[in-house]
Amino acid sequence: VTGAEDGACHAEGSIHGCLRGESCSVDNHNSTDGGGDGNNSNDNGGDSGDKNDDGGKTPGKDTCASYDSCGACYSSHLCHWCGGSGGACHAKGSIHGCLKGNSCIDDDSHQKKENSCASHSNCTECALSSHLCHWCASDNKCHAVGSVHGCFTGVDCLANDQCQRQQPENVKAFKGIGFIPLIVILSVGAFIILCSTGCYAVDVSVASLAQ
C-alpha cells in the first residue's frame, strides 16, 4: 500500500507505513495520456499493474518480499524471515508475517555434519569415531564430551549377547560374603540369642518370686 505521509510503498501492518493505504487510481489517470488501462501496461494493452508471467503481482526489488532466501532477507534491518526453510521474507510488524523472525541457522542445524558426534546413530560408531564423542544412555544418542545436551559420563558399548547370561547363575548365600563380615554377623546373632535367653530367664525368675 502507498502512504500519503512519505509517498512510499510499505507492507500492510508495518510500523514504518500507514494505517490505511491510498488508492492508486488518481495517480494512474494523471500519469497516463489517455492510453492504457493502468500503469506500466504491457504491449498487448492489457492488465494494470506490474504482473509476472503467473498473473501475480511482482514484488518491488527493494521490498522484503523480493528476498527469496533467509540470508538475503536479513540484509535489511526492516525485514525478517518467517516459516523456516519453506518460509518467506516479511516486513517486521506485518500482519502477514510473524511476531518473531526465524534464525537462518535453524535450518542448517538439522542437517548434521558427517564428522559431528550427532551424526552417529549407534553406540559403536560413536565410540570409534572420536575420543571426543560418547554415547549417552539417557536419550540413546551420541554427544560431544562435555556437551550440556549430553551426559556427564558415557556408557560402554557392548553387544546384546555380552549383556545376557548364557545360563542361570547359581545363588550361594554365603559365598560372596567376606570372612570378617561373616564373623560380625555371627557374633551379632549370638549376642541377640544370649540376650533374649537371659531376659526370658530373668522374667521367669521375677514371676516365680512374685507368687
Residue with cell 505521509: 5
Mean pLDDT of 42-69: 54
Q: Does residue 22 sit within a domain? A: yes
The answer on 54 and 1 residing in a single domain is yes
Q: Which domain holds residue 93?
A: 62-110
pTM: 0.28
The answer on 96 and 117 residing in a single domain is no
Q: Is the pLDDT of residue 181 over 80?
A: yes
Q: Does residue 211 sit within a domain? A: no
Q: Does residue 196 sit within a domain? A: no
The answer on 106 and 123 residing in a single domain is no
pLDDT one-digit tens code per residue, 143-169:
999 888 889 889 888 766 667 777 777
Q: Does residue 130 sit within a domain? A: yes
Q: Does residue 150 sit within a domain? A: yes
CA-CA distance, 139 to 171, in Å (whole number)? 34
3-state secondary structure of 75: coil
Any long-range contacts for 73-81 (C-beta under 8 Å, 24+ apart)? 73/101, 74/101, 74/104, 78/14, 78/16
Number of compact structural domains in the chain: 3
Q: Does residue 125 sit within a domain? A: yes
Task: Yes or no: say if 71 and 59 are a contact pair by the CB < 8 Å rule.
Answer: no
pLDDT one-digit tens code per residue, 64-103:
988 888 888 888 889 998 876 678 899 998 888 888 888 8
Model confidence band, residue 111 (pLDDT cutoffs 50, 70, 90): very low
* Helix%, strand%, coil% for the chain, nearest 5: 30, 10, 60
Q: Does residue 192 sit within a domain? A: no
CA-CA distance, 205 to 33, in Å (whole number)? 134
The answer on 136 and 159 residing in a single domain is yes
Q: Does residue 86 sit within a domain? A: yes
- What was the pLDDT predicted at 5? 57
